[in-house]
Amino acid sequence: MEISNEVLKDLHVRMLRIRLFEEAAGKLFENSEMPGFIHLYVGQEAVAAGVCATLREDDQIGSTHRGHGHLVAKGGDLSKMMAELMGKATGYCNGKGGSMHICDLELNMLGANGIVGAGAPIAVGAAFANKYRGNDTVAVVFFGDGATNIGAFHEAANMAAALKLPAVFVCENNEYGEYTPRHKTMAIDDVVDRAAGYGMPGVMVDGMDAVAVYEASAQAVQRARAGHGPSFIEAKTYRYYNHHGVQIMGFKYRTDEELEQWKQRDAIDALEARMQAGGVSSRSELDAVRAEIQASVDEAVAFGKDSPYPELDTMLTDVYTLGGAR
Amino acid sequence: MTDSTEPRELTYLGAVNEALHQIMAEDPDVFCAGEDVGANGGVFGSFGGLQAKYGELRSVDTPISEQAIIGLGIGAAVSGLRPVVDLMFMDFILVAMDQIANQAAKLKYMFGGKTSLPLTITTNGGAGLSAAAQHSQSLEAMLCHVPGLTVVMPSTPHDAKGLLVSSIREDNPVIYVKHKRLFGDKGPCAEELFSIPLGVAKITRPGNDVTIVTYGRMVGESMKAAKILESEGIDAEVIDLRTLQPMDVDTVIASVKKTNHCVVVHEAVRFAGLGAEISSQIQEAAFDYLDAPVGRIGAPFSPVPFSPALEAHYVPDKKRIAEGVRAAVERTSLPA
Residues of B in contact with A101 (CB under 8 A): 110-111
CA distance B12 to chain A (A): 22
Q: Which residue of A has its CA nearest to B63?
A: A159
B18, B35, B135, B179: the active-site residue: B135
d(CA A177, CA B311): 45
- What confidence tier does A2 reach under pLDDT thresholds 50, 70, 90? confident
Q: List A177's β-bridge partners, or say none.
A: A180
The pLDDT, as a whole number, for residue A248 is 67
Q: Is residue B179 within 8 Å of B266, Cβ to Cβ?
A: no
pLDDT digits (tens, 9 = 90+) for B57-89: 999 999 999 999 999 999 999 999 999 999 999
Cα dist from A241 to A247, B53, B207, B249, whole Å: 7, 55, 68, 51
Average pLDDT over all residues of chain A = 96
Contact assignment for A129 to B114 by CB distance below 8 Å: no
In a domain, A206, yes or no: yes
Position B158 pLDDT exceeds 90:
yes
CB A325 within 8 A of CB B170: yes
Q: Which of B66, B140, B267, B311 is catalytic?
A: B66
pLDDT in tens, A221-267: 999 999 999 999 999 999 999 998 887 666 789 999 999 999 999 99
- Residue A297 sits at the vertex; the CA angle it makes with A291 and A298, to the nearest 5 degrees, is 85
> Hey, CA dihedral for B137, B138, B141, B144, is it positive or negative?
positive
Range of the domain at A282: 5-314
- Across A293-322, average pLDDT: 97
Q: Please write the tens of the pLDDT for every residue from A261-297.
A: 999 999 999 999 999 999 999 999 999 999 999 999 9
* CB A141, CB A166: distance < 8 Å: no
CATH of domain B202-333: 3.40.50.920
Domain definitions of chain B by residue range: 9-188, 202-333
- Residue A319 within a domain: no
| Beta-ladder partners of B263 | B212, B295
Residue A147, SS3? helix
Cβ(A97)–Cβ(A128) below 8 Å: no
> Cα torsion for B274, B280, B285, B288, to the nearest 10°?
130
From A131, A156, A325, residue closest to B246, measured CB to CB: A325
- At residue A236, the 3 state secondary structure works out as strand
* DSSP secondary structure letter of residue A15: H
Q: How far is B319 from chain A (nearest CA, A)?
A: 34
The total number of residues written for chain A in this structure = 326
Please enumerate in sequence order all residues whose Cβ is within 8 A of that of B84, keeping only pairs 6 or more positions apart, or say none.
B20, B30, B31, B32, B33, B73, B120, B122, B168
Which own/partner pairs from A277-281 qualify as long-range (CB within 8 Å, at least 24 positions apart)? A278/A5, A278/A8, A280/A5, A280/A8, A280/A9, A281/A9, A281/A12
Residue A69 CA to residue A22 CA, distance in Å, equals 8
Residue A33, domain member (yes or no): yes
Q: Would you tell me which CATH number, out of the four given (3.40.50.970, 3.40.50.300, 1.10.443.10, 3.20.20.70), belongs to the domain B9-188?
A: 3.40.50.970
- For A67, A151, B105, B242, the CA distances from A115, given in Å and listed in that order, are 12, 12, 14, 33
* Chain A CA closest to residue B100: A118
Among A94, A125, A320, the residue with its CB nearest the CB of B148 is: A320
Contacts of A252 (CB under 8 A, 6+ apart): none
Q: Is residue B170 within 8 Å of residue A324, measured between CB atoms? A: yes
Q: Is B237 a catalytic residue?
A: no
- pLDDT, tens digit, 9 for 90 and up, residues B189-202: 999 999 999 999 99
| A212 min Cα distance to partner chain B (Å) | 29
On whether any CB of chain A is under 8 Å from the CB of B249, the answer is no
pTM for this entry: 0.96
Decide if pLDDT at B6 tops 80: no
CB contact under 8 Å between B78 and A125, yes or no, is: yes
Question: Percentage of chain B surpassing pLDDT 70?
Answer: 97
Q: Which of B102, B115, B246 sits opposite A115 (nearest CB)?
A: B102
Q: Does residue B4 surpass a pLDDT of 70?
A: no
Tell me what pLDDT residue B332 has.
60
With an 8 Å Cβ cutoff, is B55 touching chain A?
no
Q: Determine phi and psi for A197, rounding to 5 degrees.
A: -65, -20
Q: Looking at the predicted complex, does its ipTM rise above 0.90?
A: yes
User: Are B172 and A95 in contact (CB < 8 Å)?
Assistant: no
Which segments of A125-269 are extended strands (E)? 139-144, 167-173, 176-177, 180-181, 202-206, 231-236
CATH code (residue A128) = 3.40.50.970
Of B99, B147, B243, the CB nearest to A325: B243
Nearest CA to A279 out of A9, A2, A45, A46 is that of A9
Q: Is B267:B181 a contact under the CB 8 Å cutoff?
A: no
Q: Give the amino acid at A273.
A: A
Q: How confident is the model at residue B336 (pLDDT cuts 50, 70, 90)?
A: very low
Of A227, A14, A17, the closest CA to residue A137 belongs to A227
Partners of residue B115 in chain A, C-beta under 8 Å = 105
The three state secondary structure string of chain B is CCCCCCCCEEEHHHHHHHHHHHHHHHCCCEEEEECCCCCCCCCCCCCCCHHHHHCCCCEEECCCCHHHHHHHHHHHHHCCCEEEEEECCHHHHHCCHHHHHHHHCCHHHHCCCCCCCCCEEEEEECCCCCCCCCCCCCCHHHHHCCCCCEEECCCCHHHHHHHHHHHHHCCCCEEEEEEHHHCCCEEECCCCCCCCCCCCCEEEECCCCEEEEECCCHHHHHHHHHHHHHHCCCCEEEEECCEEECCCHHHHHHHHHHHCCEEEEEEEECCCCHHHHHHHHHHHHHHHHCCCCCEEEEECCCCCCCCHHHHHHHCCCHHHHHHHHHHHHHHHHCCC
> What letter does residue A309 receive in the DSSP assignment?
P
Q: B102 vs A118: CB contact, 8 Å cut-off? A: yes
User: How far is B71 from A283, CA to CA, in rounded Å?
Assistant: 46
Bridge partner list, A34: none
Contact B114 A103 (CB under 8 A): yes
Residue B2: the pLDDT is 54
- Residue type for position A80: K
**What is the domain count for chain A?**
1
Would you say residue A22 lies in a domain?
Answer: yes
- State mean pLDDT over A41-61: 98
CA distance B26 to chain A (A): 17
Put simply, the answer to whether A93 touches B110 (Cβ < 8 Å) is yes
- Dihedral angle sign, alpha carbons of residues A266, A271, A273, A274: positive
Task: Tell me if A233 sits within 8 A of A25, measured CB to CB.
Answer: no
Active site residue B135: yes
CA B333 to chain CA centroid, Å, is: 35
Determine which of A85, A128, A135 to mutate to test the interface with B (most B C-beta atoms within 10 Å): A128
What is d(CA B314, CA B116) in angstroms, rounded to the nearest whole number?
40
Whole-angstrom distance, CA of residue A235 vs CA of residue A63: 15
**pLDDT of res. B333:** 52
Taking the CA of residue A102 and the nearest CA in chain B, the distance in Å comes to 7
The values of phi and psi at residue B205, to 5°, are -145, 120
Q: Is A206 helix (H, G, I), strand (E, B) or coil?
A: strand
pLDDT at residue B53 is higher than 50: yes
Amino acid identity, position A169: F
Q: Identify whether A108 is part of a domain.
A: yes
Q: Do the strands A176-177 and A167-173 form a parallel or antiparallel pair, or are they unpaired?
A: unpaired
Per-window interface: B 85-144 vs A, CB < 8 A: 98-99, 102-103, 107-117
Q: Which residue of B has its CA nearest to A137?
A: B79
CB within 8 Å of A187: residues ≥ 6 apart: none
Q: Does B267 touch chain A (CB under 8 A)?
A: no
